[in-house]
A = this chain, B = another copy of it.
Amino acid sequence: MKPTDSELEILQVLWQEGPCTVRQINERLAENREVGYTTTLKLMQIMYEKGLLTRLEEARSHVYEANVSEEETQSTLLERFVDTAFRGSASKLVMHALGNHKSTPAELDEIRKLLDQIEQQP
């Protein structure tokens, strides 16, 4: 399941904040760009129909929760992205990403450790 750009924006808020009402999401989105309440509502209803979100209808204002994990979504999107933008070459993508040196030394160390792990497997 590939979320659209707007859907991903909503998922990001839910992954960071946990369960939210439409109003809460809308307020977070509105920090960055202008967006009407019913726009956000409609999007979340669609996402609910698609199974991207679950919701509790007990209170008058429903509480929504992400029904896909951040990790799994990132993997899905990444796979597609590697294919379409980097012709399937994950290492090329990695080089590019590291090339824009925005990573801290600690992060670089973590990557190095991961490399060690991978190379030590037979």
Contacts and interface: CB of A to CB of B under 8 A. Distances in A.
B78 A96 contact: yes
A90 B102 contact: yes
Nearest to A121: B101
A75 B101 contact: no
Most chain B CB atoms below 10 A, which of A85, A96, A102 = A85
B115 A91 contact: no
Nearest to A92: B74
Interface stretch (A34-42, A43-51, A104-112): A104-112
Nearest to A90: B101
A100 interface: yes
Given A84-B9, A108-B119, A98 B78 contact: no
A103 B91 contact: yes
A93 interface: yes
A12 to B, nearest CB: 7
6 contacts: A74-B92, A74-B93, A78-B100, A94-B97, A98-B115, A101-B121
Q: Which 5 A-B pairs have the closest CB atoms?
A: A90-B101, A91-B107, A91-B103, A90-B97, A77-B85
